[in-house]
Amino acid sequence: MAEATLVAIPGLPDVRPGMSLPDLLVRALERAGLRPADGDVLVVAQKVVSKAEGHLVDLATVTPGDEARRLAREAVKDPRLVEVILRESTRVVRAHHGVLITEHRLGFICANAGVDHSNVGLGPEVVSLLPRDPDASAGAIRDAVHTAFGVPIAVIINDSHGRPHREGAVGVCIGAAGLEPLLSLVGRPDLYGYTLRTSVEAVADELAAAATLLQGQCDEGTPAVLIRGIRIAQGPGGAARLLRDPSRDLFR
Amino acid sequence: MAEATLVAIPGLPDVRPGMSLPDLLVRALERAGLRPADGDVLVVAQKVVSKAEGHLVDLATVTPGDEARRLAREAVKDPRLVEVILRESTRVVRAHHGVLITEHRLGFICANAGVDHSNVGLGPEVVSLLPRDPDASAGAIRDAVHTAFGVPIAVIINDSHGRPHREGAVGVCIGAAGLEPLLSLVGRPDLYGYTLRTSVEAVADELAAAATLLQGQCDEGTPAVLIRGIRIAQGPGGAARLLRDPSRDLFR
């Protein structure tokens, strides 16, 4: 019987800037008796990565520029927050009452360029940014697990993003190491021998979404989830593979 | 330790038109010794629902109209297939070489209005349509499981859809019974007491995506997955809740 399990790794401390998240994860796995195996996927929430790496801004230290002030009026937002969002972004997609959607410098199109107040806990005006290089963050965790357990697992950094056409946010992959984020079935036969012509599955996003179901944003906060039993393809990773070239984006 | 499991239900036969999918699922659960429990979510692939319900079209019987012929030239597709897609759609979003994206009459924006050749296996030109009423299909499965096991589980019908901004398709919920598709955390405190202001999670889509990881499109075909251990909110279901009102869709 094909079966997969998702385990929320218990015992992670409150992550603070300067802590080594790879070490904390290795120790939490050891304490929980969770021995990673080949083919496992460790999904870690962006928020704790950013906190450990100190990728944070205290809004009290920010002076908004002219563009941020103008956009803050349009979006009805704190101009200092808008200033931080603009610094993280390459373009503004949409500004509307309470909502600012931009393209993050890493290519993700999401609300507030991923700049977020929630689950930071380091002061009333401290916000978190997305990690500087989420693929590298995933790679560092992968290396630490490999060193500690001798097993080359896959690692995904996930975040929750809103999306066009559909309500609600879903977990998506913003950093990946050790797996192919996309699984192409093009050219393979289906169950009846029909050759699949267009099927490419965003496996890394589906793993990210599955982990989000266990991570929790409120009291239950368990930012790291070990997924076992899903057949993944090993590969170098790289979440940019999941970004659609705008010129080929027919779904917009 | 918070843990969730996904089990691909073994032993489903090759589903053919006229079979009762709810009965087949109940029998497969019984044979596998899988006793559904309160809080479980059963995710069933759209394809077997459509096949059991006979929502299929043999292209050999289709005469394309003028609009289908014109659009077929634009999209470089079989005019008969385009005719079927148009009958299923309320509007064309985009036509391009090999790609036709429409709004399905149920509100989903996806390639080919969900009309699909793959994994049908009923003749070289037989395509499947989306179920007529996927919420009702989910409800019928839920009722059958309730009757057989005395437990009110949640049921999701899923399909793989492409999306704007990101490469690859992911599993999404197109029919739901017995759960709230969206989980709103607005107004709840985060781990540090900060009040969440915008967090709404599309739980049904994340469950649909998780199940897709086990369903497989090729040799492994296991279209039904039982998910256990995810905290869901009971509710009437209704996948239309997951559709964003175009006038409020700032992500486009």
Among B72, B93, B127, the domain boundary falls at B127
User: Given an 8 Å threshold on Cβ–Cβ distance, is A202 in contact with B170?
Assistant: yes
> Strand runs (DSSP E) across B11-148, as ranges?
41-45, 56-58, 89-96, 99-104, 109-111, 126-128
A47 assigned to some structural domain: yes
Contact (Cβ atoms closer than 8 angstroms) between residue A124 and residue A80: no
3-state secondary structure of B176: strand
Among A127, A156, A183, the domain boundary falls at A127
Looking at the structure, tell me whether residues B141 and B223 fall in a common domain: yes
CA B174 to chain centroid: 4
A248 assigned to some structural domain: no
B202 assigned to some structural domain: yes
Taking the C-alpha atoms of residue B249 and residue B245, their distance in angstroms, rounded to an integer, is 6
A79, B76, B232 from B25: Cα distances, Å: 55, 39, 22
- Please name the residues in contact with A54: beta carbons below 8 A apart, sequence gap of 6 or more: A17, A18
Q: Which chain B residue's Cα is nearest to A92?
A: B251
A171 assigned to some structural domain: yes
pLDDT above 90 (res A209): yes
pLDDT above 90 (res B70): yes
Among B80, B97, B127, the domain boundary falls at B127
Taking the C-alpha atoms of residue B153 and residue B237, their distance in angstroms, rounded to an integer, is 12
How many domains, in total, are found in chain B?
A: 2
Residues of chain A contacting B198 with CB distance shorter than 8 Å? 98, 111
pLDDT of residue B99: 86
CATH of the domain at A98: 3.90.1660.10
Looking at the structure, tell me whether residues A224 and A200 fall in a common domain: yes
Looking at the structure, tell me whether residues A120 and A139 fall in a common domain: no
Looking at the structure, tell me whether residues B140 and B33 fall in a common domain: yes
B246 assigned to some structural domain: no
Average pLDDT over residues A234-243: 96
DSSP letter at A12? -
Chain B closest-CA separation from residue A44 CA (Å)? 15
Q: Which chain A residue's Cα is nearest to B121?
A: A192
Residue in A76, A128, A167, A231 to test binding to B, most B beta-carbons within 10 Å:
A167
pLDDT of residue A197: 78
- Please name the residues in contact with B186: beta carbons below 8 A apart, sequence gap of 6 or more: B196, B197, B198, B199, B200
A252 assigned to some structural domain: no
pLDDT of residue B137: 98
How deeply is B126 buried, as exposed, middle or buried, from its count of CB atoms within 10 A (0-12, 13-18, 19+)? middle
The pLDDT-based confidence of A224 (bands split at 50, 70, 90) is: very high
User: Given an 8 Å threshold on Cβ–Cβ distance, is A242 in contact with B168?
Assistant: yes
pLDDT of residue B250: 79
CA angle B173, A194, B225 (to 5 degrees): 30
A249 assigned to some structural domain: no
Domain coverage including residue B204 = 5-53+133-240
Looking at the structure, tell me whether residues B138 and B66 fall in a common domain: no
Average pLDDT over residues B56-85: 97
pLDDT of residue A236: 94
Looking at the structure, tell me whether residues B80 and B138 fall in a common domain: no
Does the pTM surpass 0.95? The reply is yes
Residues of chain A contacting B10 with CB distance shorter than 8 Å? 1-2
pLDDT of residue A63: 98
The pLDDT-based confidence of B217 (bands split at 50, 70, 90) is: low
Looking at the structure, tell me whether residues A189 and A213 fall in a common domain: yes
CATH of the domain at B220: 3.30.1330.100
B28 assigned to some structural domain: yes
How many other C-beta atoms can be found within 10 angstroms of the C-beta atom of residue B194? 14
What digits encode the pLDDT tens for the residues A58-85?
999 999 999 999 999 999 999 999 999 9
Looking at the structure, tell me whether residues B118 and B23 fall in a common domain: no
Looking at the structure, tell me whether residues B236 and B142 fall in a common domain: yes
Looking at the structure, tell me whether residues A71 and A94 fall in a common domain: yes
Give the mean pLDDT of chain B: 94
Looking at the structure, tell me whether residues A87 and A190 fall in a common domain: no
Looking at the structure, tell me whether residues A48 and A151 fall in a common domain: yes
User: Given an 8 Å threshold on Cβ–Cβ distance, is A217 in contact with B251?
Assistant: no
